[in-house]
Structure 1
């Protein structure tokens, strides 16, 4: 029995089996063992969440360590410190007395220090006539020495977990960026596919990310994100082998053909004819047209349905959406020449889509005609992405706006049109 090595607490503080076990462990420290006290303290700080102590308790432990005269924790150098609460409070940056006692109790409960109480509960040391320390009563730091290896392993485990968390966050950010840009690229390049459904699945995954996520939260979301990205890439690979001309070549070829504005007068009657329109006449027969999914356009721009031909309140074909675009053009006061120019540069379908997008933003646009001219000019220079505009509106409408906001054609934030297109600026405006 090693009862002479067990110290019971003074006063009303109870004795527990945990205290007995902790004191027995500290009594079995190997002779000659030593460790740098600040290295142990850094390990404790790193493993604080695992040990289960508050950050203010670390301040108190730091103050206790400063009362050791040397930097090494050794049995020969003495492991008991005996500062008064006043001295300890000063070195703990003025911590209040009640707070100090609470955090001392937390350190004892966590097994980082042991109370070695005197017969009267005071902290003091008894020395010999030569000044050698014979007995000290206060707080023993022996648990830090006996648990040094354990604390180092805990610190390494926490560091590895933190690194895994950082890698998961980085991979998730990269995967989000890849999916967002691949969807926009697929729509912009005219790749067939249910991109509205894929966008909805992507947004559902984003909604699962907590405000303060843990590694266990991120790993399954990242796995699903990577599967979605692989699915998108597979669709793009299938389309890449179909012999479809490069989308950029089609776009720049169309711009070169339309650089002479006097050569496209055959489009003018179709854009100007507002009584009994025949929108299919507006399509240039010699130019390939890049058309977005009609369902995506109607989800991104629901207000355009109010201007459907015949007043039915629904649009079911590109003919109807182009006819509605002409009505909206007249209602917003856009000049026929500005709309014709948009038809020449973007194509009739895309010009109608641009009018639908402007209608959604009408409350925030002072001059719709000037706005359309600006978009047309940017499209002619290859600086405007209609796909990015549609996806921004689609995300804004899918974010839960009220039906009244949609009917008024306003967005909750003017910045909702800003899309991460790699140039850190809105795609138009």
Structure 2
């Protein structure tokens, strides 16, 4: 252990600094800043416990030097051994937070002259106070970064929920959720958010809100005509389904669905209500069912619920399959009447 000789002039300067009130230095604010920024300096909780114990020995008006013995500090920390204490002190010395002012016999004390000049031998915490602004700035920067990361993470999760409601089978969803299990930096979160936003923009679903445009009277008539055409097309499709497939046939073939009903299903309205009840049980969100009903019609959406439940273990993900045949790319290929006929023939062969 190297000894540091203090001159009277240095001691006088130290004495002058020791007259600064503790309220002005607010050393506990500096300690909390170092605690929050400890990862930057490679400090562990044990180091901070030792520093906290040392700070508790400071007395107002007696400067920033700790005069307590190693044994007293060990007891105040909670009974750590002296070797651990020395390692902690050496670490703070290496970081420039503590300065050793050792006496010839390694005792820690303070001596004053008749003129009021003082020399303090011990562990000086003055360097820690001098770097107070630096520590507070680092701690604030880390807190800002933490808040920003949480903010961007929540945005990413919101985008993923939107993607799942439209296409649960999207491969990006699983990739993003695996990435969110790790502790990412702020730039990595921003990059992931940009990818999620791009995925959301690429969606072309019927519930996307149209852009507001200013239309003339003739344009308005055209838009109304197109809207009426789509409605007429959907009504025509429902009539085709109704003519090609009777409710009684659907109910008899899809006995897995009717098994959950206490009453006999006699018409399409009862089948629709029962399908709406079955959808959440199959992992299909009620909003998804309503969207499918608005796009392909109530009869076709209800038939999809009944048929999927009848297929049972052949379908790995009811929600994804339902979305695909009612709102996704297989929407036009889904023919309930043809499927029911095939299922009916299959049941007759196995009977």
Q: What is the match of residue 2 of structure 2?
A: 9
Provide the residue aligned with 2:246 in structure 1.
Answer: 270
Q: Does the 8 A contact of 1:209 with 1:217 survive in 2?
A: no
Question: Per-residue CA shift, 1:181-207, capped at 9, x if unaligned?
Answer: 4x2xxxxxxxxxxx466x333333333
Work out the CA distance in 1 between the residues paired with 2:200 and 2:256: 42
1:152 equivalent to 2:136? Answer: yes
The residue aligned with 1:390 is 319
The offset of 1:226, in angstroms, is 1.9
Q: CA deviation at 1:130?
A: 7.2
Q: 2:255 aligns with which of 329, 335, 340?
A: 329
Tell me, yes or no, if the aligned pair for 1:268 and 1:340 is still in contact at 8 Å.
Answer: no
Which residues in structure 2 correspond to 1:176-255 (within 5 Å)? 176-181=160-165, 183=166, 195=167, 199-232=170-203, 236-237=208-209, 243-244=226-227
The 1:327–1:102 alpha-carbon spacing in structure 2 relative to 1, beyond 3 Å, is farther
Q: Normalising by structure 2, report the TM-score.
A: 0.58
TM-score normalised to structure 1 length: 0.49
8 A Cα contact 1:343 1:350, kept in partner: no
Match of 2:7 in 1: none
Contact 2:98–2:128, Cα closer than 8 Å, also in 1 = yes
Match of residue 309 from structure 2: 358
Q: Does 1:101 align with 2:77?
A: no
Helix, strand or coil at the partner of 2:180: coil
Do 1:117 and 1:137's aligned partners in 2 also have CA atoms closer than 8 Å? Answer: yes
Report the secondary structure of 2:136's partner residue. helix
Is 1:174–2:158 an aligned residue pair? yes
Residue aligned with 1:212, SS: coil
Candidates 265, 289, 300, aligned match of 1:349: 300
Which residue of structure 1 lines up, in the alignment, with residue 41 of structure 2? Answer: 51
Give the whole-Å Cα distance in 2 for the aligned partners of 1:393 and 1:110: 62
Instruction: Provide the rounded CA distance (Å) in 1 between the counterparts of 2:43 and 2:243.
Output: 75
Asked if 1:40 corresponds to 2:30, the answer is yes
Contact 2:255 2:310 in 1 (8 A): no
1:81–1:140 Cα contact (<8 Å) kept: yes
Give me the whole-angstrom Cα distance separating, in 1, the residues matched to 2:258 and 2:87. Answer: 70
Question: Residues of 1 paired with 2:176 and 2:129: CA distance?
Answer: 47
**CA deviation vs aligned residue, 1:250-296 (integer Å, no higher than 9, x gap):** 9xxx9xxxxxxxxxxx77973445xxxxxxxx8xxxxxxxxxxxxxx
CA RMSD of aligned residues (A): 4.8
CA contact (8 A) 1:89 1:100 kept: yes
1:392 and 1:110 map into 2 onto residues whose CA distance is: 60
Relative to structure 1, the CA distance from residue 234 to residue 138 in structure 2 (aligned partners, 3 Å threshold; closer, same or farther) is farther
Instruction: Give the distance between the partners of 2:163 and 2:245, measured in 1 at CA.
Output: 42
Change over 3 Å in CA distance of 1:125–1:333 after alignment to 2: closer
Contact 1:53–1:107 (CA under 8 A) maintained in structure 2: no
Unaligned runs of 5+ in 1: 1-7, 16-23, 184-194, 255-265, 274-281, 283-324, 363-387, 395-429
Q: Equivalent residue of 1:207, what SS?
A: helix
Matches of 2:245 and 2:198, distance apart in 1: 49
1:217 Cα deviation after fit: 3.1
User: Is 2:50–2:85's contact at 8 Å kept on the other side of the alignment?
Assistant: yes
For CA contacts below 8 A with separation 6 or more, give which structure has more relative contact order: 2
Q: Which residue of 1 aligns with 2:98?
A: 113
Distance 1:233 1:90 in 2: 68
Q: What is the alpha-carbon distance in structure 2 between the residues aligned to residue 239 and residue 157 of structure 1?
A: 41
Secondary structure at the residue paired with 1:61?
helix
